Amino acid sequence: MAPRKVSKPRVPKCPDCDGTGEIAETVRVGPRKGRATAHRQAAMCLTCFGSGEASTTE
């Protein structure tokens, strides 16, 4: 018989980006970033720093 394979423990997903590592930010234009437009741009998730994994220390 072959030995059983041990699976790695699952790492919980980041709650802010749902495990993708990216979030969508609203584009702001004008002096001092005053007016928000309907456009969105991708940004790195600052909670998990783009890894998609939830931090273990809270």
Tens digit of pLDDT for each residue in 21-39?
888 888 888 887 678 888 8
Per-residue pLDDT band at 58 (split at 50, 70, 90) = low
Q: DSSP state, 16? A: T
- Residues 32 and 30: their CA atoms lie apart, in Å, by 6
As given in the structure block, the two tokens for residue 6 are 């041990």
Answer yes or no: is pLDDT of 41 > 60.
yes
pLDDT of residue 20: 84
Tokens 């584009």 correspond to what residue? 27
> In the chain, count of helices (H) and strands (E)?
0, 2
Q: What is the model's pLDDT at position 57?
A: 62
| Average of per-residue pLDDT across 1-17 | 82
C-alpha span between 55 and 51 (Å, rounded): 10
Q: Which residue carries 């749902």 as its tokens?
A: 18
